Structure 1
């Protein structure tokens, strides 16, 4: 599943082709995505895209008439193609600009979404209860410490909770905990503020580095130009079960938490 760095990479990739550009036509070839694509998304036609924002894993194309809310789901991607390029099997929605460029949603599993709202998109039911952005000032050790008190869930599951903080997916949770020296098995409510300070710092560093390098290479993710990201080659824990720890040469372990694989070093992370 594309995580926050991949979605931010996508947002940056489509922005030069959409920001301050007029939507000539919206073509919906397959309306049955995770939720039905609303027919009133046609109201976007003839509108200038005034802003290309991201909130969590949602990309927001804002116009004066309303906002298109796009989620990439498990396998979705947005690609830039020239108008007139024939769609492939899993190309479900096109946003055709009057420049001749098209933003095309490709989604083999159809778990993505294209929605339309005429209200403030940040108050949409899918967005309004999301936690703070991890790279914002609102996400800090004081906040994380306070909301963790009394929580018995593991620290890894806690930071992956989108109502606590958005966008810290499985890969980045494993990496941030490794860099912080915190065991993923610790109860969130028992982690000290000092350790949360280090964890917040590492989450910001890991995510910023992944964004700068174009997202993590996953089986289903490609950038808008069709190129994969490059962060995977620098992973210290995720996907390295049985390999030597880069710090202490102990063996990286793998366990399951919340139906997700967790990778960590039992010596470095305590």
Structure 2
């Protein structure tokens, strides 16, 4: 599933194509996505100007001049690509198409249909079911060492599980939690409530750094992720533990990267460097 850096990369690609543009044409080829595309979606989007695009966790939010908001979630295999001028024939799995007044064609495709595109009334973003219980953004000012310590106090769950909880912090996923815990020298199996204030400060800084590096690299392209121009992200070439089971640790050189399963997801770590 695309994580925060991949979704932010998509948002950044959409900004020059959509922001300030009037959406002249809307085509919905298939409505039965994870959430059905509203029957009046076309009428609520066509002819209106896009005011801004922002991201909340793993969701792209497109605000229209009507104050309604289009919410886009890529699911497991969703992609958004932008085509200029006269677009070619849509792909088999291109379900939604927007064309702007400057002839930018934005296509949402999703072979597995675990993603969705919805539109909600003005003022309903904060109470939207998928967004209402999310924690703070990890790149925001509210995500601090003190906040992390307060939220982890007395928790008996593992550090890996805690950071994957979207109610604690929004947008982190398996790849970047693995990488951040390694860089911070924290075992993914460590009891979350035992994290010290010093380690919490280090972890917060590392999480922000890893995410920013990944965004700068266009995200990680392991299977489905592509930027809006069709190019691959390349942060996967910077992985220090993720997917490196059995390889020598790049930091200590003496231990091999191990893999365990936590909550049904693969965890990669160095037992020597992470305590």
Q: Which residue of 1 aligns with 2:272?
A: 267
Moved more, 217-226 or 252-261: 217-226
Q: Is residue 212 of structure 2 the alignment partner of residue 211 of structure 1? A: no
1:177-192 correspondence runs (5 A): 177-192=181-196
1:125-140 correspondence runs (5 A): 125-140=129-144
Q: Distance in 2 between matches of 1:81 and 1:39?
A: 25
TM-score (norm. length: structure 1): 0.98
In the TM superposition, residue 129 of structure 1 has moved relative to its aligned partner by 1.3
SS of 1:103's partner is: strand
Unaligned runs of 5+ in 2: none
Q: Deviations over 1:178-209 (max 9, x none)?
A: 00000000111111111111110100000000
In the TM superposition, residue 124 of structure 1 has moved relative to its aligned partner by 1.5
Q: Which residue of 2 aligns with 1:16?
A: 16
In the TM superposition, residue 84 of structure 1 has moved relative to its aligned partner by 4.0
SS of 1:132's partner is: coil
Q: Distance in 1 between matches of 2:198 and 2:218?
A: 31
Task: Pick one of 154, 167, 173 that aligns with 2:171.
Answer: 167
1:32-51 correspondence runs (5 A): 32-42=32-42, 43-51=44-52
Q: Distance in 1 between matches of 2:239 and 2:257?
A: 12
Unaligned runs of 5+ in 1: none
Q: Distance in 2 between matches of 1:61 and 1:150?
A: 39
Q: Is residue 257 of structure 2 the alignment partner of residue 255 of structure 1? A: no
Q: Which residue of 2 aligns with 1:85?
A: 88
Q: Is residue 120 of structure 2 the alignment partner of residue 108 of structure 1? A: no
Q: Distance in 1 between matches of 2:216 and 2:70?
A: 26
Q: Distance in 1 between matches of 2:61 and 2:40?
A: 16
Q: Distance in 1 between matches of 2:234 and 2:273?
A: 25
Q: Distance in 1 between matches of 2:224 and 2:83?
A: 19
SS of 1:50's partner is: strand
RMSD, matched Cα = 0.9
1:35-74 correspondence runs (5 A): 35-42=35-42, 43-65=44-66, 66-74=68-76
Q: Distance in 1 between matches of 2:41 and 2:216?
A: 32
SS of 1:122's partner is: coil
Displaced runs of 4+ in structure 1, greater than 3 A?
Answer: none
Contact 1:40-1:116 within 8 A present in 2 as well: no
